[in-house]
Amino acid sequence: MQVGIYSRVFDESQKEDVLKLIHELIRHQIEPVLYRDFYNQISHFLPADMPIRLFSSSDELNEQFECLISLGGDGTLLDTVTLVRDKKIPLLGINFGRLGFLASIGRGELDSAVASLVNHTYVKDERTLLHLESNLPLFGDTPYALNELAIQKLDTSSMIKIHTYLNGAFLNSYWADGLIVATPTGSTGYSLSCNGPVVFPDSGSFVITPVAPHNLNVRPIVVPDSNVISFEVEGRADSFLCTLDSRKEIVSKNVQLAVKKENFSIGLIRLNEQSFLQTLRNKLSWGFDQRNG
């Protein structure tokens, strides 16, 4: 069995946990395959005789991988989505970051995570993606996102006007700093910080959330993910910012954009005892009353 291990930035405080994870995998005869840039950051403290294989790109991942382990926060896990693409390799997020909705397995659960891989006792949740279409090429060969698409004004420009359509039917013109289209997974991300609703992962929907709207009666709306959502952008500036998860491009306001449900999904691994409701309560402190603390 092989597992990939990916991380963006290594911190010395993570040394013991990283070593423990790699040793546990090898002890259970699971072959760790490390992302090359990550390996270059940690190679100085790995034993010289440790059997480590490396990968550098999506092309080197195949069906022989049990999963791809992400070490970091949710942003790090979002990076791995562009690596696994449509290869059906599930993602296991171990939270070395802060909040961690997606990377929900704590550093103290490394033993349980490895045991779940060995015994195949984990649960794999399929998460929908959104796909961006445009009349000019954007985001190379990864024009999709697990969390959200965001259309935003540039830092110094005035607000923009975003005409929005559902399957060609006019929905609304948003006068705002921007507009977010989030998947259910992304409903706990940027959309939530802009007062969007929390949506269950299997709800089959998109959330359209304005960013700092000029009209205060404009509210987020939930629509079925069978819709194609298209946009026309107006503004005093000649361009605007378009982001897919943590990736961004500056786009001319004459470019036509549309989003729809991607034709493949991403699997997220969770331990059996975890659930979306538990994650909400733990991460958002629902039900916690400091008067009883």
Nearest to residue 173, comparing CAs of 159, 192, 183? 159
Q: What pLDDT, in 10s, does the model give residues 263-278?
A: 999 999 988 766 777 7
Least confident of 93-102, 104-113, 116-125: 93-102
Spatial distance between the Cα atoms of 116 and 109, rounded to a whole number of angstroms: 11
The pLDDT score that the predictor gives to residue 273 is 67
Nearest to residue 200, comparing CAs of 274, 138, 275, 119? 275
Confirm whether 74 is a catalytic residue: yes
Instruction: Give 35's pLDDT tier (boundaries 50, 70, 90).
Output: very high
Write down the catalytic residue from 17, 37, 59, 74.
74
Q: In what order do the strands lie in the sheet with 205-211?
A: 221-224, 205-211, 178-182, 148-152, 239-244, 247-252
The pLDDT score that the predictor gives to residue 197 is 96
Query: Which domains, ranges and CATH numbers included, belong to the chain?
Result: 2-122+271-292 (3.40.50.10330), 129-263 (2.60.200.30)
Least confident of 54-63, 97-106, 204-213: 97-106
Spatial distance between the Cα atoms of 207 and 164, rounded to a whole number of angstroms: 13
Region 284-290 average pLDDT? 68
The residue that leads in pLDDT, 257 or 104, is 257
**Residue 248 in this model has a pLDDT that exceeds 70:** yes
Give the global pTM: 0.91
Angle, CA 227 vertex, CA 222 and CA 231 arms, to 5° = 90
Q: Within 10 A of 285 (CB to CB), how many other CB atoms are there?
A: 10
Q: What pLDDT, in 10s, does the model give residues 75-91?
A: 999 999 999 999 999 99
Spatial distance between the Cα atoms of 47 and 60, rounded to a whole number of angstroms: 24
The answer to whether 188 touches 178, Cβ cutoff 8 Å, is: no
The pLDDT score that the predictor gives to residue 14 is 87
* Most confident region among 2-11, 13-22, 150-159, 203-212 by mean pLDDT: 203-212
The pLDDT score that the predictor gives to residue 158 is 87
- Exposed e or buried b per residue across 99-118, where buried means at least 16 C-beta atoms within 10 angstroms of its C-beta: ebbbbbbeeebbebbbebbb
